[in-house]
């Protein structure tokens, strides 16, 4: 089959926990990908991981069970769950990969990025600039926090997304109150403590990387919060790409093995630090800045990847 023929008949799944009929504005990126696929006459379906029957066998399978019915293997799967990816969803992704399906991004990359501490370990050990980060250990030793991180500091849920599960503590008293509350609710909570980048208060950069190339960069800002997420009401503005920004973003995506990545950079006094990476980045704000082409670029990339396989 020629490359042209394969691109014309490409079938794919977009994995999201929300059924298609319940899609809302919160899933703008998913809606845009489905829209582009439909315009190109590509057979893409929105599937929840829970619709799969995960059966592991040594037999050579050419199909999978969805809603208890055999379905032909797709050419590509696009996970759009990000840090909300469940263990079951990761198992589904791994199974599809073993069966030869191109998964963009793959299970290992999604799992690494889901764990903020692990991803920081990967980046820091490769000498990329990141905020100093430590894993909370209960009961908290305040003297260690004071010495190693200092105040103000940021408390994060290890798997948070869209600005959720992040709290700024500007004093030891507030920090102690918050940590005592967390401990009282869940003594085994996985929480990371991170230095606060004052130069980045209320602003950061979102850099969109696709296939090792930056396709968009924007400044996110907020006048009412230290968090600048567009999904939380922050403003977005075009930001000129520099060699430093481009290198930090593409190198982060490479180290974390992400084909599609939203890289968040914090402003520092002497440049930038990598805040985090997102395996299923939204791009509503970015399309607002650069025009409606991000979803088209993603589908172009996927079609070429599948066509070359």
Report pLDDT for 60.
59
Span 78-119, pLDDT tens digits:
999 988 899 999 999 999 999 999 999 999 999 999 999 999
Compute the average pLDDT of residues 255-275.
96
- DSSP-derived letter for residue 73 is P
The residue segments making up the domain with residue 136 are: 132-196
Q: Where among 196, 224, 245 does a domain terminate?
A: 196
Q: With 60 as the cut, is the pLDDT of residue 41 above it?
A: yes
Residues 64 and 137 in one domain: no
pLDDT per residue as tens digits for the range 187-240: 888 899 999 999 999 999 999 999 999 999 999 998 766 665 545 557 899 999
User: Residue 145 pLDDT more than 50?
Assistant: yes
Q: Is residue 306 part of a domain?
A: no
Res. 8 pLDDT band, cuts 50 70 90: low
The answer to whether residue 109 is domain-embedded is no
Domains identified in the chain, total number: 3
In terms of average pLDDT, the best of 52-66, 123-137, 254-268 is 254-268
User: For position 166, what pLDDT does the model report?
Assistant: 86
Q: Are residues 280 and 210 in the same domain?
A: yes
- Crossing angle for the helix pair 243-255 and 116-125, nearest 10 degrees? 120
Residue 2 lies in a domain: no
Tell whether 203 and 181 lie within a shared domain: no
Question: Residue 277 is part of a domain; what is its CATH number?
Answer: 3.30.470.20
Predicted local distance difference test score (pLDDT) of residue 64: 85
Reported confidence tier of residue 138, pLDDT bands at 50, 70, 90: confident
Higher pLDDT, 234 or 39: 39
Of 161, 177, 196, the residue at which a domain comes to its end is 196
State whether 189 and 218 are in the same domain. Answer: no
Give the tokens for residue 74.
């797709």
The answer to whether position 242 is within a domain reads: yes
Q: Which of 60, 89, 104 is the last residue of a domain?
A: 104
Residue 117 falls within a domain, yes or no? Answer: no
The verdict on 191 and 249 lying in the same domain is: no
Q: In Å, what is the CA distance from 11 to each residue of 6, 74, 103? A: 10, 5, 12
Residue pointed to by tokens 């379905």: 71
Residue 290 and residue 175: Cα distance in Å, rounded?
40
Are 176 and 227 members of one domain? no
Query: Which residues are CB-neighbours of 159 under 8 A, at least 6 positions away?
Result: 83, 84, 114, 115, 116, 165, 190
């Amino acid at each position: 089959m020629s490359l042209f023929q394969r691109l014309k008949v490409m079938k794919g799944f977009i994995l999201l926990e929300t059924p298609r009929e319940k899609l809302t504005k919160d899933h703008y990126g998913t809606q845009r990908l489905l829209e582009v696929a439909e315009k190109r006459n590509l057979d893409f379906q929105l599937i929840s991981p829970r619709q799969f029957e995960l059966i592991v066998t040594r037999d050579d399978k050419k199909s999978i069970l969805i809603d208890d019915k055999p379905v032909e293997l797709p050419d590509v799967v696009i996970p759009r769950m990000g840090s909300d990816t469940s263990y079951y969803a990761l198992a589904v992704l791994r199974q599809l990969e073993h069966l030869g399906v191109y998964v963009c991004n793959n299970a290992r990359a999604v799992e690494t990025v889901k764990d903020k501490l692990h991803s920081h370990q990967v980046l820091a050990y490769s000498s990329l600039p990141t905020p100093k980060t430590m894993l909370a250990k209960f009961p908290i030793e305040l003297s260690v926090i004071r010495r190693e991180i200092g105040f103000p500091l940021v408390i994060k849920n290890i798997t948070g997304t869209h600005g959720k599960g992040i709290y700024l503590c500007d004093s030891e008293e507030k920090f102690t109150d918050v940590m005592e509350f967390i401990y009282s609710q869940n003594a085994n909570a996985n929480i990371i403590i991170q230095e606060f980048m004052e130069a980045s208060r209320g602003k950061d950069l979102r850099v969109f990387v696709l296939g090792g190339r930056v396709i968009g960069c924007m400044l996110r800002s907020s006048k009412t919060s230290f968090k600048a997420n567009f999904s939380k009401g922050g403003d977005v503005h075009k930001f000129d790409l520099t060699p430093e920004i481009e290198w930090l973003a593409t190198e982060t995506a490479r180290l974390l093995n992400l084909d599609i990545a939203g890289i968040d950079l914090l402003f520092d006094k002497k440049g930038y630090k990598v805040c985090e990476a997102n395996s299923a980045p939204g791009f509503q704000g970015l399309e607002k800045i650069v025009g409606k082409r991000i979803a088209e670029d993603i589908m172009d990339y996927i079609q070429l990847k599948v066509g070359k396989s």
